[in-house]
A and B are shown apart, each in its own frame.
Chain A
Amino acid sequence: QSVLTQPPSASGTPGQRVTISCSGSSSNIGSSYVCWYQQLPGTAPKLLIYRNNQRPSGVPDRFSGSKSGTSASLAISGLRSEDEADYYCAAWDDSLSGWVFGGGTKLTVV
């Protein structure tokens, strides 16, 4: 059971906007930056969002992150078939003195 809670699955049609939620507590999301990773099938994870809402160079602005209190969310607009992947949220946990991940959300583009 993961410390951060994500829905196991999400889906959308091409062009649609989808959001993936991530719920934590005061010791992780509530007091630390949140980041998001995309893992395409058979590949290593890739950083999508860091420090709650910052995009690394090369990540399209279709991807955006936000945080409020002990929850965070990832939004993907203009959904494309190549966005089909697993998405993970993560945050530093002050109580555990380590990183915690969400269980991952499998996004399907139907």
Chain B
Amino acid sequence: EVKLVESGGGLVQPGRSLRLSCAASGFTFDDYAMHWVRQAPGKGLEWVSGVSWNSGSIAYADSVKGRFTISRDNAKNSLYLQMNSLRAEDTALYYCAKGYSSSSLDDAFDVWGQGTMVTVSS
């Protein structure tokens, strides 16, 4: 069974940092691009960042550029999102998603995790 399980969310104060993880199983992790997508409470979907199979291509939404860093460890079948200088508007459910293809970041997300909640509040 193809599965993505996110972890690392929680309550954090504005300006602090948090690192999210996504554990992948059931497929050859290093064959595919991976992404983070978030959804604020009661709101729509917002793409956050994506990384190609070999980390050769990485992209970020303007809203997180310079604050968030995506990375992957193919040996551990894991995806990460380092989030620094967190703001109240970063409060959301963060989903890990598998890309449909390997090198291209512009292909659809065909598998999603259940998400991990990040709340930024003092």
Q: Is the CB of B107 within 8 A of A33?
A: yes
A30, CB-defined interface residue at 8 Å: no
Would A50 and B47 count as touching, CB distance under 8 A? no
Least Cβ distance of A66 to chain B in Å?
Answer: 16
- Interface check A102, CB cutoff 8 A: yes
B109 touching A47, Cβ below 8 Å: yes
Chain A positions within 8 Å of B35 at CB level: 99
Which of under 10, 10 to 19, 20 to 34, or 35 or more describes the interface residues of B? 20 to 34
Give the number of residues in A that approach B within 8 Å (Cβ atoms): 26
Given A33-B107, A33-B108, A92-B105, A101 contacting B113 (CB threshold 8 A): no
- Docked-complex contact B47 and A100, CB < 8 angstroms: yes
* One of A32, A46, A104 near B44 (C-beta < 8 A): A104
CA A28 to CA B115, docked complex, whole Å: 26
B32 at the interface (CB under 8 A from A): no
Using a Cβ cutoff of 8 Å, how many contacts connect chains A and B? 63
| B59 is an interface residue with CB less than 8 A from chain A | yes
Which B residue sits closest to A97, measured CB to CB? B59
Q: Identify which of B61, B62, B105, B108 gathers the most chain A CB atoms within 10 Å of its CB.
A: B108
How far apart are A27's CB and chain B's nearest CB, in angstroms?
12
The reply on A56 being an interface residue by CB < 8 A is: yes
CA distance A45 to B46 in the complex (A): 12
CB <8 Å contact, B115 and A90:
no
Q: Is the CB of A44 within 8 A of B47?
A: no
Beyond A47-B108, A101-B46, 18 additional contacts (C-beta under 8 Å) are A35-B109, A37-B45, A37-B109, A39-B45, A44-B115, A45-B45, A46-B112, A47-B109, A47-B111, A50-B107, A56-B110, A98-B59, A98-B61, A99-B35, A99-B47, A101-B45, A101-B47, A102-B44
10 nearest A-B pairs in the assembled complex, by CB-CB distance: A92-B106, A99-B47, A50-B108, A35-B108, A44-B112, A104-B44, A101-B45, A47-B110, A103-B44, A98-B59
Residues of B within 8 A of A (CB): 35, 37, 44-47, 50, 59-62, 95, 100, 105-115
